[in-house]
Structure 1
Amino acid sequence: MATQREHSHPGPRKRSVLVMRPGEHRADNVWKTEALRDLKLRCITFPKSAKDDGGRDPRVVQLLRASGFQGAERVVKIKIDWGLITALVERWRPETHAFHLPFGEVGITLQDVQVLMGLPIDGLPLTGPTAHSKTEWVQMCDDYLGFR
């Protein structure tokens, strides 16, 4: 007969799916029944004036609405569930870009982002290198979005 520990083991059935070296992932402590080390989370907040349309540049609001990205205006109003974030961090496997849950592997899809944030996902993607200077990013915002 299986013990309670075997029924609720937090790891995958086959450890071969985990390619990180032991001790590199937060969940290793759970599997060894050791105390979890502190998880450092940070939240980027916006000034109160940025949370309402009165604090936003009208050009930004107009462009968001014209492009169908008005859902982005609601992003700063999301209530943060720190317990859920911590649980998901413990289950995240960076080498597979997925969460390893007791019932299997789960990834985040573009459709998930669309549903949660109300952002459209049709059209061609905008891709390119991300290593730019601040001046280059400002210029790209001006070129693609119409504001600095």
Structure 2
Amino acid sequence: MPDIAVEDASLPDSPTIQEEDLTHAFLGGPTDPSMLQSFNSHVAVAIWHGEEQGPLKCHNHSSKILAWPWWSVDNNTRFKAIIEQSGLSQLARCTYRFVNKLLISSFVKRWQPKTNTFHMTVGEMTLTLDDVGTILSLPIVGRSISVPNVRDHHGVTLLVSGLGITKRVAHNEVSTAGGNLVRLEWLRSHFASVTDSDLEEAIQCTARAYLLFLLGCILFNDKSGGRVPVVYLGLLMDLGSIHTYAWGAAALAFLYRQLGYASRFGVK
């Protein structure tokens, strides 16, 4: 029996793909504007129209971390024990002395906040919880980290109760830093000289100050460049439960948000 070719009239003819369809420049932006409504403010749109911006300014706090070398100081074993038990001590050893701002800027320009993915020429890629757990050795499961918005007087109260300073000192620092923030350098200069001969309460307050400093330098660093919100101190009040929080999940969520901010045109 001869071969018989049967044509299915119900199927439309497949379009012919031309070479130029695979090699020509991608027209700027999505074809359906309703899918990515914030795309017009994305840096990719400006680049498409010839408004290329330079590399982003990248803050690197490794020098601040190394300026508070608690791990190499003698006669502070009680302080070291608290920091190690918090589950955050390894962050002090995860810093980079040099940061390639050109490489970081290139990735940021390819970040899409709606999908939390990098749009690469080979497809989409993203950062996962497994990446955070592997690189930073932080727990990705545990108690949820949620911090409320606080008023100025609440921030002062947190500083007084958590760091053992006077209300006047706390108010002056919040006023100097602006808003409910404290300066990273202020934390280091006021609390870096703890020893085993100090009272237990003083050692615990210093431990909270250092952990707040560490969060501001590594996990929750933002474009302020040298300040950290006081509200995170509320998570450090109970030193025995710090390790029970899902710090890795919070770090990833924070990173997603900050990448979204950085991908907007005009951000420096």
- 56, 81, 93: which is aligned to 2:112? 93
The TM-score normalised by the length of structure 1 is: 0.68
The residue type equivalent to 1:142 in the other structure is M
Aligned to 2:44: 27
Aligned to 2:237: 142
Q: Write the distance in 2 (CA, Å) between the matches of 1:59 and 1:25.
A: 49
Aligned to 1:124: 142
Q: CA RMSD, aligned part only?
A: 3.6
* SS at 2:115 equivalent: coil
Q: Does 1:43 align with 2:59?
A: yes
The residue type equivalent to 1:49 in the other structure is A
Structure 2 residue runs of 5 or longer lacking an equivalent are 1-18, 159-230, 243-268
For the 8 Å contact 1:71–1:117, the answer to whether it is kept is yes
* SS at 1:37 equivalent: coil
Structure with the larger RCO, 1 or 2 (CA within 8 Å, 6+ apart): 2
Matched residue pairs, number?
141
Change (3 A) 1:145 1:19: farther
* SS at 2:45 equivalent: helix
- Offset from partner CA, 1:76-96 (integer Å, 9 cap, x none): 345322122101110111222
Bigger Rg, which one:
2
Aligned to 2:132: 113
Q: Alpha-carbon deviation of 1:110? A: 1.0
For the 8 Å contact 2:39–2:45, the answer to whether it is kept is no
- 2, 14, 20: which is aligned to 1:2? 20
1:76-91 alignment, distance < 5 Å: 76-77=95-96, 79-91=98-110
Higher mean C-alpha displacement, 62-71 vs 97-106: 62-71
The residue type equivalent to 1:88 in the other structure is F
Higher mean C-alpha displacement, 57-66 vs 103-112: 57-66
Change (3 A) 1:48 1:21: closer
Change (3 A) 1:116 1:81: farther
Q: Alpha-carbon deviation of 1:112? A: 0.9
The TM-score normalised by the length of structure 2 is: 0.42
Q: Alpha-carbon deviation of 1:114? A: 1.4
For the 8 Å contact 2:60–2:99, the answer to whether it is kept is no
The residue type equivalent to 2:93 in the other structure is R
Q: Write the distance in 1 (CA, Å) between the matches of 2:233 and 2:122.
A: 44
Aligned to 2:81: 62
For the 8 Å contact 2:71–2:80, the answer to whether it is kept is yes
The residue type equivalent to 1:80 in the other structure is V
Q: Alpha-carbon deviation of 1:10? A: 9.3
Q: Write the distance in 1 (CA, Å) between the matches of 2:78 and 2:27.
A: 49
Q: Write the distance in 1 (CA, Å) between the matches of 2:92 and 2:48.
A: 41
